Structure 1
């Protein structure tokens, strides 16, 4: 049976509208999506959680049905929009993916009403663990209008575990030109300048993990066992600084596992969002 969705228009702090797509029954979860994509790739995740949770998806600024993004980009609108959605829905559970994980963690550090925060491959720069050398050349290529080259540099810079990243750059660029002919390729290319702006902001927040020690939420720091290798030490460093955090390495999962929504990942998320909170565990 086709999944039922409701669509609401939620007022943002600046007077714009946030278009909220919701499905399911039970406690609410707001999903903060990653860079270079829209909510469409997360509908499978929402559907597989919908028998236990009400899942809320929304496009971040500058994407699909979202309002325009303020420039220059500083991430504050993202945090304000998440705050508006938490207030509107009453949800206290948040999932953040990739660049969306960075936004969600910043929101939790601001003490937004987030009780439980699940981060998957969160793009958080901790003590320089996240590779950054590729970014200037990728930004130069994007500014020059060579999106295939910019995508190739970005892909090779971030997916250090991939055999493709070790191919000659010219071949990678040719492969990206083919990718640009696909719907998802065109979406990612159109959003690439936005993604590079967000990545620049993430790298500007580089620092020790202790800068996030004020996060009071229960945090699940998950990464894919088959994904980029730098997420695991990043999560371990963050878990050592956050007061209520644990790590999870998801077997056979890459960076895109959250939108692929394999059953073992979906069940791990559901368990995290339904387990007793830390104070209850201590009391028992």
Structure 2
């Protein structure tokens, strides 16, 4: 990251901007940094001034306890101010939940795009999310970062063999290093259910996307977001999963943000 900006509480937020044109800020989900979205930023920078950043508690950004979702919204506010005072936002997964909250709070946002915000669509999903929250809180309180990462990977649907392999991979140390930020993403998701009153208060256009190869409940949640916000549009990206390919997503975002 090339630049650091002070958030309202004094936390340094690391970010990088590329390209010229209307401002677009990309917001990552759990277990990721701004670098995760760099492959998406590259094509978007042909038409926009695109900012990627490390959310607090990960990468090159700082962290200031106690955590609150409002602090992450203030981080976005500081970034938007730094790149010109107004921006469009894209968020993936729990990062999508964050940008929806940011828009509802009144930040100067032109347009929003979100990809597969994992809202629970029935009681069983909500119950599983509540159990995850309780077990995650316990693991982090006891300093069991590896167990916290495992809990998250199981929540995403990975099998035990894949998780065991991940623990032996060179990437595991990096995953453990940002494990405390899993609690931040969990807080951003609230109780996990679709926040209908919050979504109904968003006054800007929202494009809600899902992959055609993703689980059905992911598409259902994405469609529900579009149907609940006042100016919502739903779109399926055929053949895509939660790990959406930048080459497929970028043209869709370019067209939408250029409107």
The corresponding residue for 1:47 is 42
For 1:90-109, what aligned pairs fall within 5 Å after superposition? 90=84, 91-109=86-104
**Which of 129, 132, 135 is the equivalent residue of 1:132?**
129
Question: RMSD value over aligned CA atoms?
Answer: 2.5
Larger radius of gyration: 1
For 1:208-247, what aligned pairs fall within 5 Å after superposition? 209-247=196-234
- What CA distance in whole angstroms lies between the structure 2 residues aligned with 1:117 and 1:254? 20
- CA 1:205–1:146 in structure 2 vs 1: closer, same or farther (change >3 Å)? closer
**Which of 247, 255, 259 is the equivalent residue of 1:271?**
255
| More divergent stretch after superposition (227-236 vs 108-117) | 227-236
| More divergent stretch after superposition (239-248 vs 140-149) | 140-149
SS at match of 1:189: helix
- What CA distance in whole angstroms lies between the structure 2 residues aligned with 1:15 and 1:201? 20
- What CA distance in whole angstroms lies between the structure 2 residues aligned with 1:24 and 1:102? 26
How many matched pairs?
A: 255
**Which of 21, 30, 33 is the equivalent residue of 2:25?**
30
The corresponding residue for 2:186 is 199
Structure 1 unaligned regions, length at least 5: 1-5, 166-171, 276-284
What is the CA distance between 1:205 and its match in structure 2? 6.3
Cα distance per residue 1:212-235 (max 9 Å; x no partner): 111011101112222243221112
- What CA distance in whole angstroms lies between the structure 2 residues aligned with 1:201 and 1:10? 22
> Are 1:76 and 2:70 an aligned pair?
yes
- CA 1:186–1:256 in structure 2 vs 1: closer, same or farther (change >3 Å)? farther
- CA 1:208–1:84 in structure 2 vs 1: closer, same or farther (change >3 Å)? closer
What is the CA distance between 1:122 and its match in structure 2? 1.9
The corresponding residue for 2:115 is 120
- CA 1:8–1:201 in structure 2 vs 1: closer, same or farther (change >3 Å)? closer
- CA 1:74–1:205 in structure 2 vs 1: closer, same or farther (change >3 Å)? farther
- What CA distance in whole angstroms lies between the structure 2 residues aligned with 1:127 and 1:238? 15
What is the CA distance between 1:155 and its match in structure 2? 2.2
- TM-score w.r.t. the length of structure 2 is 0.87
For 1:255-270, what aligned pairs fall within 5 Å after superposition? 255-257=242-244, 260-261=245-246, 263-270=247-254
The corresponding residue for 2:154 is 156
- TM-score w.r.t. the length of structure 1 is 0.80
- What CA distance in whole angstroms lies between the structure 2 residues aligned with 1:44 and 1:30? 14
Does the CA contact (< 8 Å) of 2:211 and 2:240 recur in 1? yes
The corresponding residue for 2:172 is 185
